[in-house]
Amino acid sequence: MPKPLFPVWQKRLTLIAALGLALTGMGQMPIFSRYYIADLPGLSWLGNYQITAALHLALGAALVFLLTSYAASWLAAGRLRPTLTTAGKWRVTLYGAVALTGVVRVLQNGSWAMVGPMQVRYLDWLHLAVAMGLLAFAMAAGRKAAVAGRK
């Protein structure tokens, strides 16, 4: 019996990375210090932009690795390729958009700026909006299966 195309450990890692990214992404805004969350014992790091930005990048690398691994497996599966449900299509779209806008922002901070200086705001806002959309989706339909049948 071959191992599942999308093993449970990979799904769990994806969830952990996504939750960590949501937390450290919120940490890019001055929220945790303002609302006393960074004052809680053990959570002072949430008020340190250097730490949250570094963690956001590290978790972003993990998520991009996992997502591209899913995509490559799905594309390479041939006749065994599982069919995406509606929830699965939403998941692919939202995760893909949040990862894509994040990678473009990383490139923007390097030396391969893809958008003009005055358009960076739209990139940031899109990244934030898609992340919020993903959060809303996770709360509303996060437990729905992404693929029609396990193959």
Partner 1 sequence: MNRRAFLKSLGTAVAAAPVAAPLLARDAAAASGEQLATLFDLSKCVGCGACVAGCREAHAADYPNPQKPFPKMYPSRVKAEDFSDKREVDDRLTPYNWLFIQTATVTRNGKAISLNIPRRCMHCVHPPCAELCPWGSAVRHDDGAVVIDANICLGGSKCRDVCPWHIPQRQTGVGLYLDLMPAFAGNGVMYKCDRCHGRVAAGGKPACIEACPNDVQTIGPRKQIIAAAHDLARQTGGFIYGETENGGTNTLYVSPIPFEELHAALQTGPGNPGLQAAADVMGKEKNLATAVLLAPFAGIAAGILRVANRARKAAKEDDHA
Exactly one of 12, 89, 125, 144 binds partner 1 (CB under 8 A); that residue is 125
If binding is defined by CB under 8 A, does position 40 make contact with partner 1? no
Pick the closer one to partner 1 by CB: 113 or 136.
Answer: 113
If binding is defined by CB under 8 A, does position 5 make contact with partner 1? yes
User: Sign of the CA dihedral 139, 59, 21, 63?
Assistant: negative
Q: Considering the complex, what minimum distance in angstroms separates the CB of residue 145 from partner 1?
A: 20
Exactly one of 41, 42, 83, 118 binds partner 1 (CB under 8 A); that residue is 118
If binding is defined by CB under 8 A, does position 64 make contact with partner 1? yes
Tokens standing for residue 140:
């509303």
Instruction: 84-91: list long-range contacts, CB under 8 Å, 24+ apart.
Output: 84/146, 84/147, 84/148, 85/144, 85/145, 85/146, 85/147, 85/148, 87/141, 87/144, 87/145, 87/146, 88/145, 88/146, 88/147, 90/137, 90/141, 91/137, 91/146
If binding is defined by CB under 8 A, does position 2 make contact with partner 1? yes
Site residues, partner 1 (CB under 8 A): 1-3, 5, 7, 10, 28-31, 34-36, 49-50, 53-54, 57-58, 60-62, 64-77, 80, 102-103, 106-107, 109-112, 117-118, 120-125, 128
